């Protein structure tokens, strides 16, 4: 690309090369102008009727194409690029309580991070120990929100407060919600005394902070901690099976009621359970 080439000139060159190259150039231009990621810009270009029409019309439409891209880049609204949804899933606030009700997408799509767990904060860009529990939407493999699909957000009209608050075009970010009360399991299970009692008992028996400490030490090579962590993992598995079997909670709802299974937490430390040659379970560092 010549160093002084304008956007219009670049688009003209791409349009002359054919629709596929032109579409890529339009997405790259939008990503640069708007600051969204490449997959998000490509999705916006593919969904915008005006851009699709201009790209199909080909060479000669470069000025109109550049104008439409500039218009989209400066729009004070969500373009549905999904860039924020790919970073992580949202945390719920008290305003989001209805999402867990019968009109919501289903309780199996939520989970709890317990106080004392060490988690990665996408906003802070580092790991932190949680001082209070968080309820979140589940994530797909790779970390994106489970509701992000090829067509954008599958629950857009019901999306949580954090998603509605965030404005990439204005700089409004999730951290500005930190003063608002977050949703807790006490509220999520307000009408279910048994569930709340089970969660409290589980917390007493298997505090998240103890597991976090053992896993951190085990990941650092402490064999004694690895042995103890393994015992906690077995206890966690047994308690979940017992609670699920006796009270009828499925594995998906247990993620919300009791937090993530200890094996899932161990994976965040790079540790997995495997059987040794004598068929005894042990913790192994994942490569």
- Rounded to a whole number of angstroms, the minimum distance from the CB of residue 59 to ligand SF4 is 36
Cα separation, 7 vs 97, in Å, equals: 46
> Of residues 40, 90, 116, 259, which one binds ligand SF4 by CB under 6 A?
90
> Which one, 55 or 145, has the nearer CB to ligand SF4?
145
If binding is defined by CB under 6 A, does position 111 make contact with ligand SF4?
no
Candidates 7, 81, 148, 266: give the one binding ligand SF4 (CB under 6 A).
148
CB of 128 to ligand SF4, least distance (A): 20
- Identify which range of 26-34, 155-163, 243-251, 268-276 contacts ligand SF4 by CB under 6 A: 155-163
**Residues sharing a CB contact under 8 Å with residue 253, sequence separation 6 or more, in sequence order:** 107, 108
* Residue 177 contacts ligand SF4 per CB under 6 A: no
Q: Taking the complex as a whole, how short is the minimal distance between the CB of residue 265 and ligand SF4, in angstroms?
A: 22
Which one among 7, 30, 113, 147 touches ligand SF4, defined by CB under 6 A? 147
Under the criterion CB under 6 A, does residue 153 sit at the interface with ligand SF4?
yes
161 binds ligand SF4 (CB under 6 A): no
Q: Is 43 in the site for ligand SF4 (CB under 6 A)?
A: no
Rounded Cα distance, 145 and 126, in Å: 19
Could you tell me how many residues of this chain bind ligand SF4 (CB under 6 A)?
A: 11
Among 33, 64, 155, 168, binds ligand SF4 (CB under 6 A): 155
> Judged by CB, which is closer to ligand SF4: 38, or 154?
154
Full DSSP string of the chain: --TT--HHHHHHHHHHH-HHHHHHHHHHHHHHHH---HHHHHHHHHH-HHHHHHHHH-TT-HHHHHHHHHHHHT-SS-----HHHHH-PPBPBGGGGGGGSTTSS-GGGEEEEPTT-EEEETTTTEEEE-SS-EEEE-B-TTS-BTTEETTEETTGGG--HHHHH-BTTTTB-GGGGTTSPBP-HHHHTTT-HHHHHHHHHHHHHS-HHHHHHHHHHHHTT-HHHHHHHHHHHHHHHHHHHHHHHHH---HHHHHHHT-S-HHHHHHHTTEEEEE-TTS-EEEEE--
Shortest Cβ distance from residue 90 to ligand SF4 (Å)? 5
Kindly state whether residue 85 participates in binding ligand SF4, applying the rule CB under 6 A.
yes
Selected range binding ligand SF4 among 43-51, 141-149, 258-266, 279-287, rule: CB under 6 A: 141-149
Binding site for ligand SF4 (CB under 6 A): 85, 89-90, 137, 145, 147-148, 153, 155, 159, 163
């Amino acid at each position: 690309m010549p160093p002084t080439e304008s956007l219009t000139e670049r688009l003209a060159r791409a349009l002359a090369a054919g629709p596929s190259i032109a579409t890529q150039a339009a997405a790259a231009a939008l990503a640069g102008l708007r600051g969204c990621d490449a997959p998000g810009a490509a999705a916006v270009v593919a969904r915008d009727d005006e851009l699709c029409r201009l790209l199909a019309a080909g060479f000669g439409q470069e000025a109109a194409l550049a104008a439409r891209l500039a218009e989209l880049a400066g729009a004070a609204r969500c373009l549905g690029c999904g860039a924020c949804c790919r970073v992580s899933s949202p945390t719920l606030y008290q305003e989001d309580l209805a999402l867990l009700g019968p009109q919501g997408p289903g309780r199996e799509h939520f989970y709890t991070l317990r106080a004392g767990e060490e988690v990665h904060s996408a906003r802070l860009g580092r790991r932190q120990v949680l001082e209070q529990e968080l309820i979140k939407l589940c994530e797909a493999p790779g970390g994106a929100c489970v509701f992000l699909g090829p067509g954008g957000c599958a629950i857009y009209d019901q999306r949580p407060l954090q998603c509605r608050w965030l404005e990439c075009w204005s700089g409004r970010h999730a951290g500005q919600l930190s003063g608002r009360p977050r949703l807790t399991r006490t509220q999520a299970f307000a009408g279910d005394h048994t569930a709340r009692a089970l969660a409290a008992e589980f917390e007493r028996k298997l505090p998240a902070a103890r597991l976090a400490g053992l896993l951190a030490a085990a990941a650092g090579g402490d064999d004694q901690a690895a042995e103890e962590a393994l015992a906690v993992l077995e206890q966690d598995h047994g308690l979940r099976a017992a609670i699920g079997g006796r009270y009828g909670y499925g594995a998906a709802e247990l993620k919300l009621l009791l937090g993530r299974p200890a094996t899932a937490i161990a994976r965040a430390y790079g540790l997995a359970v495997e059987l040794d040659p004598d068929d005894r379970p042990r913790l192994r560092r994942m490569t």
